[in-house]
A and B are shown apart, each in its own frame.
Chain A
Amino acid sequence: MTPVIRMTGIEKRFPGVYALREAQFDLYAGEVHALMGENGAGKSTLMKILSGIYSPDSGSIQVNGQEEKIVGPRAAQALGIGIIHQELALMPDLNVAQNIFIGREPRNRWGVLNEAQLNRDAEAIFAAMKVPIDPKAEVRSLTIAKQQMVEIAKALSFRSRILIMDEPTAALNDAETDELFAIIRRLKSEGVAIVYISHKMDEIRRISDRVTVMRDGAYVGTVAAADTPIETIISMMVGRELDQTAAEIPDLSAAPVVLSVRGLKRGRMVRDVGFDLRRGEILGFAGLMGAGRTEVARVIFGADPREAGDITVNGQPRNIRSPRDAVAAGIGYLSEDRKHFGLALGIDVRGNIALPSLERFSDRFMRVDEPALAKVAADYIQSLAIRTPSDKQEVRLLSGGNQQKVVIAKWLLRDCDILIFDEPTRGIDVGAKAEIYRLLLDLAAQGKAIIVISSELPEVLRLSHRIAVMCEGRLTGILPGGPNTSQQEIMRLATLRDGALEGALA
């Protein structure tokens, strides 16, 4: 059987980066082929070449046995190659149907649009996908999961026989992931070939047939998904074995309570939430997406107004009304969306670390003490093992894991003793994940009080000394961490709805 895609000897250089060296990849009809590797391994670059967004410096691409040069997204579409980008490439102000057919609107020869036809065509695609989405809905109003479905519909509308999905589940919850997988299976049974890029091991096992691993822009190997142990795949990715230790629970009964929250309220997402956090403790926050965990963090941090409730820091009641107040109280919040809220991407590492502490490093004429900053930055680069050529490197050029470390350094320099991590390892590859875990445990051991919000149960279990579980804005229980708590117990609390809601949502 001829593969639908065969890429060999693909080379690509960007200024200063050797992105792909001798990369290769093949894909057969009706298979889901996972492409794995740490961030910066070259997966996305390789797929952008396949979809015509980048052109390779050298190498050969065969589509159905024919040598092809893919110039531009349009050429890729014509060859039946569709890509669903990691950062969704939709126009939020346009409606669903308009997004799907952008550039190919049904129209007469004067360029006048046939909106009715457009909506009918979109409806037909969703009917075939068995996904109920209104073609006339504005994309802005849809959930991320639904937007993902729109992207898939868009790719399918080209009659794509090859579908590239770049981390499609990064923002989906479990139910939504199941929905996506059902669609992937259906497409597969119709002979569509799917490239699946993901960091999530369990997903790879569930959905893919073969796994190709890349490292540092080069091809490492291809294995069958079903009978290859996860450890093997991980060691192919990182070139070393990973440790899988469970959380060790220190005895914190004597440690002082540093943060105490009582009766916190805001709308439907934060309903009467109360808990204590001790010095040196890691408190995990588990729950399904939309359970209100991020909302709790934002209210504590003063990013959203608090309707009711008391926040006490080190025994002192604090009226936190803005992030400024929270930072003054020693609370740092590390957003799940680093790129939007955590970092100034175009500024260098030193500048980002210094940002909240600039006043401390400047005199009364607002002159900044650069040498002192350079020294501090160098200290953190070393102590947190931030991999960067220098402290003058722009943050956008760092990998996800190293960006996260820059955010951590920033809050540590600001003397925050209470750190709230919201999805600290989202979009971070396996190797860097382990490093972030170790860093969090070290910080706790040094006496920082830490809250970790995570949608990945293994992560919560691995890190937390205690686990707070939320469901629909309510804190449904706090479980002890360690080996005695199971994922099932957490899930039970995470789905503990109150009676009225249960009836409405069933």
Chain B
Amino acid sequence: MTLAPTSSPAKSAPAKGLLASGAQQKILAFASLIVLLVFFSLASPNFLQTANILAILQATSVNGVLAVAATLVIITGGIDLSVGTLMTFTAVIAGVVLTYWGMALPFGIAAAIIVGGCSGFISGTLIARMKIPPFIATLGMMLILKGLSLVISGTKPIYFNDTPSFPLLSTGSLIGAVIPSVPLPNGVLILFILATTISWVLNRTTLGRYCFALGSNEEAVRLSGVNADGWKVAIYALAGSICGIAGLLIASRLNSAQPALGLGYELDAIAAVVIGGTSLAGGRGSVLGTIIGALIMSVLLNGLRIMSVAQEWQTVVTGLIIILAVYADMLRRRRAG
């Protein structure tokens, strides 16, 4: 078990505070993750190597951050299809600020996050104030953002050659600098900090409370005199700014903003949320579950690749896992009555 020292403290630390609320739905996902880890470890000697584990975690970081954003929205009973292309759009924005305008790194970071928030604000306004169904509103935003990314970048990648420190945002290792034996990439660290923060927001702040309340019974929230629409806009805006963080991470990892990228990421994010036991009907869910869900997906892909399973079959297996995860959750819930 060389895995234990690197990854288990990272996962069990937020677990303590979160297990109280709807613990069972996560246990199932967590157990599946363990089963997968054991299975691949036995199947291939290359799986349980530090380098491979770090690769899995690194691969989880972008999808994990997007999935955290999607979790917020899905708990309110909504859906956000624009998270993938918004990620790309914010990466392009960071490219414009850092490379075209030559501004300093903090401005690029701020721009990506703020633009992400603004886009989320627009989605939220379309949904909460103009009453456009979330699926349609964010489908529209998804295409708009994809188009704008191509327009702004002139359909060409923007490279971050003027900002040498930019790749370190994701691939550098602050922890590795302090503890050389644990070269955890910053992207993973950022995901961990973000997940901890957002699960705290969900459980300890009014914004989080309204997430669950809106997903549980929106009309009741409104009848209670709460500014339901305003909070909904705020939640979408927060989700949008988290997509900005994902944009920075992916741009940093590729050391470029790739405007054609992004489509399909939203479905991976939603899949992670669902595998993690968050209800698409709203009202129930957790960030911890989502992170486990995202890990299941990357472990699966990584393991199948190591076992030399063809890429097209990897996709098939991912689809099966999503259906299986949701079905298992349904069975559990039916038995619980």
User: Which A residues lie at the B interface, using CB under 8 A?
Assistant: 53, 72-74, 76-77, 83, 85, 89-94, 98, 102-103, 105, 107, 110-113, 115, 154
List chain A residues, Cβ under 8 A from B213: 91, 94, 98, 102
In the complex, chain A residues whose CB is within 8 Å of the CB of B226 = 102-103
Judge whether B220 is part of the interface by a CB distance below 8 angstroms: yes
Which of B157-165, B204-212, B295-303 sits within the interface? B204-212
Smallest CB separation, A248 vs chain B (Å): 43
**Complex CA–CA separation, A102 to B212 (angstroms):** 11
Decide: A94 near B224, CB < 8 A? Known: A105-B206, A112-B205, A113-B205.
no
Residue of A83, A92, A111 near B207 (CB, 8 A) is: A111
With an 8 A cutoff between CB atoms, is B284 at the interface? yes
List residues 190-246 of chain B with CB under 8 A from any CB of chain A.
204-207, 209, 212-213, 215-217, 219-226
Which single residue of chain A is at the shortest CB-CB distance from B279?
Answer: A93
Central interface residue in B204, B217, B221, by most chain A CB within 10 Å: B217
Interface: B283 (CB within 8 A): yes
Evaluate whether A98 and B209 lie within 8 angstroms (CB atoms) in the complex, with A72-B225, A92-B283 already known: yes
Contact A111 B284 (CB under 8 A): no
Chain A-chain B contacts (Cβ-Cβ < 8 Å), number: 65
Number of interface residues, chain B, beta carbon within 8 A: 20
Q: Are A91 and B204 in contact (CB under 8 A)?
A: no
Chain B interface residues (CB < 8 Å from chain A): 204-207, 209, 212-213, 215-217, 219-226, 283-284
Contact across chains for B220 and A91 when beta carbons are under 8 A apart: yes
Given contacts A73-B223, A77-B225, contact A94 B216 (CB under 8 A): yes
Chain B residues in 8 Å Cβ range of A90: 217, 220
Task: Assess whether A91 is in contact with B225, with CB atoms less than 8 Å apart.
Answer: no
CB pair B220–A89 under 8 Å, yes or no, is yes
| Contact partners of B205 in chain A: CB under 8 A | 107, 110-113
A-B contact pairs, 7 of them (CB 8 A): A53-B223, A90-B217, A105-B206, A107-B205, A111-B206, A113-B204, A113-B206
B223 touching A85, Cβ below 8 Å: yes
Among B221, B223, B226, B284, find the residue whose CB has the most chain A CB atoms closer than 10 A: B223
Given A91-B283, A93-B283, A94-B213, decide whether A103 and B224 contact each other with a Cβ distance below 8 A: yes
A102 and B215 CA atoms in complex are apart in Å by 14
Residue numbers in A under 8 Å from B221 (CB-CB)? 91, 102-103
CA distance A94 to B212 in the complex (A): 7
A89 near B223 with CB under 8 A, answer yes
Interface-central residue, A83, A94, A98, by most chain B CB under 10 Å:
A94
Q: Who on chain A is nearest to B281 by CB?
A: A93
Return chain B residues, CB-CB under 8 Å to A93.
Answer: 212, 215-216, 283-284
Q: A94-B212, A102-B213 are in contact. Are A89 and B224 (CB under 8 A)?
A: yes
Most buried by B among A74, A89, A102, A113: A102
Whole-angstrom distance from the CB of A115 to the nearest CB of chain B? 8
Min CB–CB distance A103 → chain B (angstroms):
4
- Shortest C-beta distance, A25 to chain B (Å), equals 21
Q: In whole angstroms, how far apart are the Cα atoms of A113 and B206 in the complex?
A: 6
On chain A, the residues within 8 Å of B225 by CB distance are 72-74, 76-77, 103
Chain B contacts for A73, CB-based, 8 A: 222-225
- Within 8 Å by CB of A92, from B204, B206, B216, B219, lies B216
- How close is B26's CB to chain A, nearest CB, in angstroms? 16
Output the residue of B206, B215, B221 with the most chain A CB within 10 A. Answer: B206
In the complex the two chains form, what is the Cα distance from A102 to B225 in whole Å?
A: 9
Question: Which residue from A53, A74, A105 sits with its C-beta under 8 Å from B209?
Answer: A105
Residues of B within 8 A of A110 (CB): 205
Q: Chain A residues near B283 (CB, 8 Å)?
A: 91-93
Beta-carbon contact of A113 and B216 below 8 Å: no
Q: Nearest Cβ distance between residue A11 and chain B, in whole angstroms? A: 23
Chain B residue nearest to A113 in the complex (CB): B204
User: With a CB–CB cut-off of 8 A, which chain A residues contact B216?
Assistant: 91-94
**In the assembly, what is the distance between CA of A154 and CA of B221, in Å?**
13
Chain A residue numbers with a CB within 8 Å of B219 are 89
